[in-house]
Amino acid sequence: MSQQILQTVEKPYLKENVDAFEIGDTVDVHTKIQEGTKERIQIFTGTVIAKSGSGSREMFVVRRIVAGEGVERKFPLHSPKIEKIEVQRHSVVRRAKLYFLRERTGKGVKLRERRDK
């Protein structure tokens, strides 16, 4: 009963066409950034290492390496601040969470590309 009530309350806040991506994919997340009175789009490119939650609380974590340091950002999937999510490449993974990439550097971070026919 409470799940049905929760779903009806969340429904207007969910995005209709959510871009399909999986863990291990390299994605470009286009985020709206407010600078004073102007608004612009900033692109965060990286590998999706985790997904969690459901409904309006669904989140995903994107990791990339900047100047030798690992940077992770957690995004709410249905946020109005996210303009779009573009998948650059798909990777072969066998885990639900790729936290092991945090200890790796250089070529060890690369994941094998998945090729669909």
Tens place of pLDDT per residue across the chain (117 aa): 788 888 888 888 888 888 889 999 999 999 999 999 999 999 999 999 999 988 888 999 999 999 888 899 999 999 989 999 999 999 999 999 999 999 888 888 888 888 875
Listed residue (32, 35, 12) closest to 84, CA to CA: 32
Confidence at residue 17, expressed as pLDDT on a 0 to 100 scale: 82
Question: Which segments within the chain are labelled E, that is strand?
Answer: 26-35, 38-52, 59-66, 69-76, 82-89
Q: Which of 116, 117, 115, 95 is nearest to 47 (CA)?
A: 95
Which residues are within 8 A (CB) of 62 and not within 5 positions of it... i.e. 6 or more apart?
A: 27, 29, 44, 46, 47, 48, 49, 72, 73, 75
pLDDT at 83: 92
DSSP string, 11-35: GGGS-SSPPP--TT-EEEEEEEEEE
pLDDT of residue 56: 83
Edge-to-edge strand ranges of the sheet holding 69-76: 69-76, 59-66, 38-52, 26-35, 82-89
pLDDT at residue 117, as a whole number: 57
Domain coordinates in residue numbering, the chain: 26-101
> pTM of the full predicted structure?
0.85
Q: Which residue has the tokens 């004073």?
A: 36
Query: The domain 26-101: what is its CATH number?
Result: 2.30.30.790
